[in-house]
Structure 1
Amino acid sequence: MGSSDTASRRGSAFAHLALIVVAAWLPFAAALDAEFLDWDDGDLLVKNLAYRGFSFEHLRWMFTTTHMGPYQPLSWLSYALDHAFGGMDARVYHRTNLMLHCVGSVALYFLARRVLGSLFTRPDPDAQAVSEPSVERALSTPAAPSSFAGFGALATALLFALHPLRVESVVWCTERRDVLAAPFFFLALHAWWGYATRPNRRDYALALVLLLLSLLAKASAMVMPALLVVLDLGPLREAARARGLRRLVLEKLPVLALVIPFMWIAAVGQAKSAALATYDQHALVTRVLHAGYAAAWYVARMTWPSGLHALHRSPPPEAFLEPRILLPASAALALTIAAVFLRRRVPAFTWAWFAYLVILAPVSGLVKNGYHLVAERYSHLACVPFALLAGAGLAAVASRSRRLAWGVLVLAAAPLAWRTREYVRVWCDSRSLWTHTLAHDPDNDTALGNLAALELETAQTLRDTGEAWDTML
């Protein structure tokens, strides 16, 4: 391959990265002037002195606390840096969140480029025709990703970065842990994919280090062992066969050794915060229905992001037998059955679906945590298999018509960017957040109470105070 081709590929990659950063930044730009919210930001950051410094006592607290539930020492360190540079200026904290979102989107681009590069390769550098997507061919021919894989990676990153479901994690300072854990998670998978296709110690060690960093930011990466099994059964099956069962088991043991302590700490932290429900409160059948509903809800909102707001309340246990829960849960079951039966005809959908279920599992409702039915922040990692699936589809379109592929991408991305831009403004201050929530759920007691508390703070007359108390009651 000539130097001109290499330079062209590098130029294309740099253009893609620039576009991703701009696209990840601009729709969220209004967040740079956002406030701390009266939803956890106060107790986590504004009133909390424990993270404001780098003394031994500060660091000991960061690495031992499960304050408000999560174990997140790396996230606490990032807050400490924000405080060191900007004190309690909310703009500094929001800027860091937004920068991390850009970094995560770029990391996903590199992951997608490696994954899709396994499907779109040129075995013969002098060949004119692009090979059909084939994992087997890709693994036997470690060629550089074609331009079509690069386009698919760009589409994957853009559809992830621009989606309104990202708003909660990016604009809410409390959810720093999402945007900090995600880049390490994506890069850990990137390194593991390199190890799995060409076994080497460097990629293996790098994957473990990056996994540890992701876990230190948020325990959501605890799904990694199960996710790696899905990859071995699916897109990496030929490479898995080459390594043999014994090696497949042994290579997962250090991953399990990293993950298990964080699973235990996460459970202890949630139990201390009184967030975990017992089986007396929510029986197994309720949890399964909850998980089925959640699986269908996130897929539906990825496709059509309507009805988004801060707090989607969980109904009482008896309500899980109502059609509004049973129908989406049944749809999720139907999709799971379809994924099994279509595993040979449409393997990409099958493995995207099961990867999605694995990533979603800890927050799906199987472990009942909190008083929400679904939470938009839980889509941050779970949506990635479908973003990759969409990217692969657009890469296939690009292999036939680049103009058509760009047209489809623009038609998909532009409305998402506009909707995200509008939704970001909802999350910029507490009043707009709770007013928007009440517009979707007028009986939301948390929104009513928080909005009434805001009214009390700003009450000018006795009449204003009385109205605020009426709202709160």
Structure 2
Amino acid sequence: MRSWRDNTPARHAQLAVLLLFSAILAVYYPAMLSGIHMVDDPGIVSLYGTSPRLSLALLPGQGYYYRPILELTFWLDNFFWSMEPRVMHLENVLLHCANSLLVFLLGRKVLDQGSPSGGEGRGPFWGALLAASFFALHPVNVEAVAWLAGRSDPLLSLFVLSACWFWLNWLTQPSWRDLVAALLLFSAALLTKETALAAGGVAALLALVWRGGATVRQRAGALGLVAVPALVLVIFALAIRSGTSGLSRFIATGGLDAGKAVGDALAACGFYFKKLVLPLPLNFAITAVDPCYAVAGAVVVAAISLLFLRRRLTAALFASALLVLLPAVLVAVRQVAWTPIAERYLYLPSAFFALGIASLATERLKPLRTVLVAVLVPLLLFFAVASLQRTLLWRDKIAFCQDAISKSPGFGTLYNDLGVVLLQQKRFDQAAKAFAIADRLNQRESMRMLIKANLMSVAFTQEDYLGVRRQFFRLFKEKKEAGAEFLELLQRADGRRLPALHGAVKVALARDILETLDLLNQKRYDPYWLYRSGQLSLEIGDKARALDYFNRAYRAAPPDAHYVKSTELYLRKLRKQ
């Protein structure tokens, strides 16, 4: 009887996986210490850190996108470990480990089919390890792994790559278990991120080129089943096509110039494939792509098409990378994200690209295997060092912002992000300068009021309370036009001025603050504002009004609110008088 130690292929596979995981942990361990990033992460933590109902994560209509499985992971993060950043970062790293393992397993399966010997030789094993290492260490994947808000791409990839594994099993030897597993995983991918729609094209490509026991009729029927959840998602998006659905905007066709759209699409495609081959320099905020990349995009599409004539399976892998890249290309064309181009969008495409590279290297370039090893080993070491350096940069928020600004100096949003970090570090003068630059450079209407609010926050922290008021009324003619965040800043600034005033001036400002608090309570209902209004009413001697405010605050306040006992004391005193 043979022992595990005698089972050389199994031992090699397990050692390869151990080596792969060790390399990933060595590269990404700094990410677990990088805390909360200033972009999107605070919104996730504040939303789910309040322990919302599970329906917030699972039901549609709660946000811009419908991604219930992704949102469920954040809900569980709060349920189990109260949004602890180190654990959440560890989850992202473990997702990357799982996806790298799936690339290794898919690589062995794909290269087995392409091997003349039936797949038990050394070529498929080393080719699969090459693909997994290329994917695991590729610098463009740092953004998706090191950023909490980037979890959507590793989680999506987990479901898509797993679905492909079961799909290939079914194509090789049809089994209802494999088909059901593939369908469920594909559906899970759609409920993680709507860009999983492109994975249906991958399933069709693999069904076209994969040699196996499934008949043409069986393949066509199975592809019909794969299309069902995708059609349901598209119909759902069209049904709520009010602009609140990210997918509805994504698939809209109005307002497009066809010629420009094709040029933009080819340029984005060329730029992304260049990033897969030559990833540096890395940039968190890519705002534009040179139109000349359209030539590279056309070459990529033509090369993949020509490759189909010679190596159908290898071509299908590169074409799969292109297919799952299409949503990112459409983002660049439609301009539906805060940056038209993003490195994190390459996470899933890089998996299929790595498989294509491994297939090409192990089959077409066999005579040059020694040269390949001499080239690929240093390349992977370079990838590892570049990824580690990038992961370390994610830990230093100011250096991260400065790096992005140096590469996209005209993007105002980056200066706003830098200002937020400087404000947190109490470097108020530098924060004020950063916000002022952000205000000057900003071209996004969605960022305008946020930057203005940050400018007011700096004035408040610098104790320029009159400056806060001046900025407020430069923005709004009347208080009722302002959002809750501006009203709150105004009442806080005015409240700090109040103790230094006397007589009629103090009474006038107190009444002004009461007006602000009433509006604030209408826009962001919180019994605390009623409690504060009661206190202010007492300060100006309006006891009847104070009693009304305290009564309303006491009835509406949560039992554990910190001001409940104080409200009771105020009510007792006022009722005795």
Specify the TM-score bucket, using the shorter chain as the normaliser.
0.7 to 0.9
Please tell me whether residue 411 in structure 1 is matched to residue 378 in structure 2: yes
Judge conservation of contact 1:69–1:270 (CA < 8 Å) in 2.
no
CA-CA distance at 1:209 after TM superposition: 1.8
Counterpart-to-counterpart distance in 2, 1:280 and 1:224: 25
- Tell me the percent identity: 23
The residue that corresponds to 2:279 in the other structure is 305
Give 5+ residue unaligned stretches, structure 1: 123-137, 139-143, 316-323
Out of 422, 425, 439, the residue aligned to residue 389 of structure 2 is 422
Counterpart-to-counterpart distance in 1, 2:389 and 2:38: 20
Please tell me whether residue 231 in structure 1 is matched to residue 206 in structure 2: yes
Whichever residue aligns with residue 243 of structure 1, its letter is: T
Name the CA shift for 1:393/1:104 in 2 (closer, same or farther; >3 Å): same
Out of 145, 158, 181, the residue aligned to residue 170 of structure 1 is 145
For residues 257-406 of structure 1, the aligned pairs below 5 Å read: 257-264=228-235, 271-272=243-244, 276=249, 282-314=256-288, 324-325=290-291, 327-347=292-312, 350-365=315-330, 366-396=333-363, 406=373
CA-CA distance at 1:60 after TM superposition: 1.9
The residue that corresponds to 1:157 in the other structure is 132
CA-CA distance at 1:170 after TM superposition: 0.3
Counterpart-to-counterpart distance in 2, 1:408 and 1:363: 30
The structure whose RCO (Cα within 8 Å, separation 6+) is larger is: 1
CA-CA distance at 1:95 after TM superposition: 0.9
The residue that corresponds to 1:141 in the other structure is none
The residue that corresponds to 1:319 in the other structure is none
Counterpart-to-counterpart distance in 1, 2:229 and 2:254: 32
Q: Tell which deviates more after alignment, 10-19 or 76-85.
A: 76-85
For residues 392-471 of structure 1, the aligned pairs below 5 Å read: 392-396=359-363, 406-459=373-426, 463-464=429-430, 466-471=432-437
Q: Matched residue pairs, number? A: 434
Name the CA shift for 1:361/1:472 in 2 (closer, same or farther; >3 Å): closer
Name the CA shift for 1:401/1:455 in 2 (closer, same or farther; >3 Å): closer
CA deviations over 1:55-93 (Å, ceiling 9, x no partner) = xxx222211146553322222222233223332321111
Counterpart-to-counterpart distance in 2, 1:283 and 1:415: 41
CA RMSD of aligned residues (A): 3.0
Name the CA shift for 1:37/1:429 in 2 (closer, same or farther; >3 Å): farther
For residues 124-135 of structure 1, the aligned pairs below 5 Å read: none
For residues 10-29 of structure 1, the aligned pairs below 5 Å read: 10-29=10-29
CA deviations over 1:189-241 (Å, ceiling 9, x no partner) = 0111111121221211111122222223223321222222222333x1x449x
The residue that corresponds to 2:569 in the other structure is none
CA-CA distance at 1:178 after TM superposition: 1.4
For normalisation by structure 2, the TM-score amounts to: 0.69
Counterpart-to-counterpart distance in 1, 2:242 and 2:22: 37
Counterpart-to-counterpart distance in 2, 1:314 and 1:68: 27
CA deviations over 1:130-169 (Å, ceiling 9, x no partner) = xxxxxxxx5xxxxx54332111111111100101111111
CA-CA distance at 1:466 after TM superposition: 4.6
CA deviations over 1:299-350 (Å, ceiling 9, x no partner) = 11111111211111148xxxxxxxx21x211221133223333432354553
Judge conservation of contact 1:71–1:266 (CA < 8 Å) in 2.
no
CA-CA distance at 1:393 after TM superposition: 3.6
Please tell me whether residue 74 in structure 1 is matched to residue 63 in structure 2: no
CA deviations over 1:407-433 (Å, ceiling 9, x no partner) = 443222100000000111222253233
Judge conservation of contact 2:419–2:432 (CA < 8 Å) in 1.
no
Counterpart-to-counterpart distance in 2, 1:456 and 1:183: 37
Kindly name which structure, 1 or 2, has the bigger radius of gyration based on alpha carbons: 2
Judge conservation of contact 1:31–1:171 (CA < 8 Å) in 2.
yes
Counterpart-to-counterpart distance in 2, 1:253 and 1:279: 25
SS state at 1:372 partner: coil
Whichever residue aligns with residue 288 of structure 1, its letter is: V
Whichever residue aligns with residue 358 of structure 1, its letter is: L
The residue that corresponds to 2:94 in the other structure is 99
Counterpart-to-counterpart distance in 2, 1:210 and 1:42: 30
Counterpart-to-counterpart distance in 1, 2:56 and 2:431: 40
Counterpart-to-counterpart distance in 2, 1:280 and 1:397: 45
Counterpart-to-counterpart distance in 1, 2:37 and 2:241: 23
Counterpart-to-counterpart distance in 1, 2:242 and 2:130: 36
Whichever residue aligns with residue 113 of structure 1, its letter is: R
Counterpart-to-counterpart distance in 1, 2:120 and 2:229: 31
Counterpart-to-counterpart distance in 2, 1:269 and 1:220: 17
Name the CA shift for 1:468/1:209 in 2 (closer, same or farther; >3 Å): closer
Whichever residue aligns with residue 218 of structure 2, its letter is: R
For residues 159-198 of structure 1, the aligned pairs below 5 Å read: 159-198=134-173
Judge conservation of contact 2:415–2:438 (CA < 8 Å) in 1.
yes
CA deviations over 1:429-462 (Å, ceiling 9, x no partner) = 532332111011111111012212333444456x
The residue that corresponds to 1:30 in the other structure is 30
Counterpart-to-counterpart distance in 2, 1:359 and 1:388: 14
The residue that corresponds to 2:468 in the other structure is none
Judge conservation of contact 2:103–2:355 (CA < 8 Å) in 1.
no
CA deviations over 1:255-291 (Å, ceiling 9, x no partner) = 1111223345567599316794876654233322222
Please tell me whether residue 216 in structure 1 is matched to residue 182 in structure 2: no
Judge conservation of contact 1:313–1:373 (CA < 8 Å) in 2.
yes
Counterpart-to-counterpart distance in 2, 1:368 and 1:108: 31
Name the CA shift for 1:254/1:345 in 2 (closer, same or farther; >3 Å): closer
SS state at 1:443 partner: coil
Judge conservation of contact 2:415–2:435 (CA < 8 Å) in 1.
no
SS state at 2:308 partner: coil
Counterpart-to-counterpart distance in 2, 1:313 and 1:35: 26
CA-CA distance at 1:358 after TM superposition: 1.4
Counterpart-to-counterpart distance in 2, 1:175 and 1:197: 34
For residues 53-72 of structure 1, the aligned pairs below 5 Å read: 58-65=53-60, 67-72=62-67
SS state at 2:395 partner: coil
SS state at 1:271 partner: coil
Counterpart-to-counterpart distance in 2, 1:189 and 1:175: 22
